Structure 1
Amino acid sequence: MNSAEGTTLRGKVAVITGAGRGIGRAIALAYAKAGADVVCSARSGREIDETVALITAQGGRAIAITSDVTNYESVEALFSGAVQAFDGVDIVLANAGVGTVTGTVEHSDPKRWKEVIDVNLVGAFHTARAAIPHLRRSGAGKLILMGSGLRQRPNANLSAYGCSKAGMWLLTQTLALELLDANISVNELIPGPVRTAMTDFGDKCQFNEEWLKEPEDVVPLALFLASQPDVGPSAQSFSLMRRA
């Protein structure tokens, strides 16, 4: 932790939702290795406890706070806990999400369809809304929303997921405009297909020509976005997909 790679985010506090496994866990470990204090959040306390244990084993500082992004009061409590533990918030990664296959619109279950929107889109809104006052108090900050290439490519049986990510992209751009005065940059990170539980570790990925990644392959871009200067890129989409 004393090497150059452990100084990139030194003095920063990062809050990561969906940090219990997959991409969220890989980025949490990387942010901690880069010097940040990391607040790991998810609905499963067991999974984020494991992430925190991995971070502390590598010499980093982290805490676990269970939170449900579909419940605004729960997300508010997450950020209050982060500030209480580390005296501020500088980086927020809205990574919590679900990739539920809801079937065709005609035959979908309206309840399941809405659940995807609630987690992916409303959850991102809740995360950003609860984070903003704390980022403003820090004088600058980074909001990173985890997007998807499916926001611009219609896909049968995944209408809820695609619509949730299309909405998130517009939310990203709107937040960037609204927070420009506060030096809070807001960007979208599109990882493309990754071997995680959401994709059945690659089995659900439909584009054979795409780069099928491990969660750790998303880390360099996540570090890049978190380490940009206060007046840096905002309202931008950064993608690891080969196909636009």
Structure 2
Amino acid sequence: MQTQEPQLRGKVAIVTGAGRGIGRAIALAYARQGAAVCCAARSLGQVQETAAQIVAEGGRALALITDVTDFASVERMVNETEQAFGGLDIVVVNAGVGGGQQTVEASDPQTWRTTIEVNLVGAYYCAKAAVPALKRRGAGKIIAIGSGQGQRGRAGISDYACSKAGLWMLTRVLAQELAPHNISVNQLIPGPVLTEMTGDLLARNTYEGEWAKSPEDVAPLAVFLAAQPEPGPTAQSFSLMRRDA
């Protein structure tokens, strides 16, 4: 009986927000498919746990403190990944915050701004820092973790919805810019996932009728996108939602 070849053998990936939730699940899934993984987040303890589990399972991992709102920090993340593993092939832009959960009128301006800085500016920083490394490999994948709220919105989450709407446009523009370099850029929309950030919303049935999934349910689609041929699909949105995203 033949054993299936790991889909990401020889690849090097960065996953931001890899200390918990969706990011952690994707980092573990990539490692199990043969990739060396840089696990990045603001909390070193959490990403060290993710990296330690990867190593314990026989994989290769690096744990780095990274603040995606600080471009110098993001550049260090990319540089240290290249130094540790010899290159970079896949970037999962996952680090994000949930926003203020208030109307525009009642919102706190600093909270609104912070959401945009983390979810959108942080994604721009990750892409900008990673593109030269991906070009050096001759191909690559950027996968942005988006949201259906970035396309249809919802009252009370203007900061989050606007940040994810901007991320979707950034995805499409990047895809056009990087297509000549065999670098694909796609969006993955998980839909409602039970994490520390979404637990209260799911408890209030905010997403009634939707598939409330675990972070591990998202990982197979992330592996699928990372394992696509070059050139493969680009400027596309892949959704795990039941209803229109």
Establish whether TM, by shorter chain, passes 0.5: yes
SS at match of 2:61: strand
CA distance in 1: counterparts of 2:159 and 2:76, whole angstroms: 28
Instruction: Give the distance between the partners of 1:242 and 1:161, measured in 2 at CA.
Output: 20
The corresponding residue for 1:225 is 225
Q: Deviations over 1:88-145 (max 9, x none)?
A: 0000000000002241111111111000000000000000000000000000000000
Which deviates further from its counterpart, 86-95 or 152-161? 152-161
Letter in 1 for 2:84: A
Q: How much does 1:59 deviate? A: 1.0
Partner of 1:121: 120
Equivalent residue number for residue 69 of structure 2: 70
Look up the match of 1:131. 130
The TM-score normalised by the length of structure 1 is 0.97
> Which residue identity does 1:135 align to in structure 2?
L
User: What residue is the counterpart of 2:199 in the other structure?
Assistant: 200
CA shift at 1:193, angstroms? 0.2
| Structure-2-length-normalised TM-score | 0.96
Q: 1:180 to 1:54 in 2, by over 3 A?
A: same
> Number of aligned pairs?
242
Whole-Å separation in 2 of the counterparts to 1:144 and 1:240: 14
**Do 1:196 and 1:215's aligned partners in 2 also have CA atoms closer than 8 Å?**
yes
User: Which residue of structure 1 aligns with residue 240 of structure 2?
Assistant: 240
Query: Residue 199 of structure 1 contacts residue 205 of structure 1 at CA under 8 Å; is this kept in 2?
Result: no
Other structure's SS at 1:125 match? helix
Distance in 2, matches of 1:12 and 1:32, equals 9
Contact 1:139 1:182 in 2 (8 A): yes
| Partners of 2:100 and 2:108 within 8 A in 1 | no
**Kindly tell me: are residues 50 and 204 of structure 1, through their superposed partners in 2, closer, same or farther at Cα, counting changes over 3 Å?**
farther
RMSD across aligned positions (CA): 1.3
Aligned-partner residue type, residue 86 of structure 1: F
Deviations 1:43-82 (A, max 9, x none): 0000000001111111111010110000001000000000
Separation (CA, whole Å) in 2 of partners of 1:23 and 1:68: 18
1:33 partner letter: R
The runs of 5 or more residues in structure 1 that have no matched partner are none
Alignment of 1:1-244 (within 5 A): 3-4=3-4, 7-200=6-199, 202-203=202-203, 206-244=206-244
- Tell me which amino acid in the other structure corresponds to 1:119: V
Q: Distance in 2 between matches of 1:89 and 1:187?
A: 17
Gaps of 5+ in 2: none
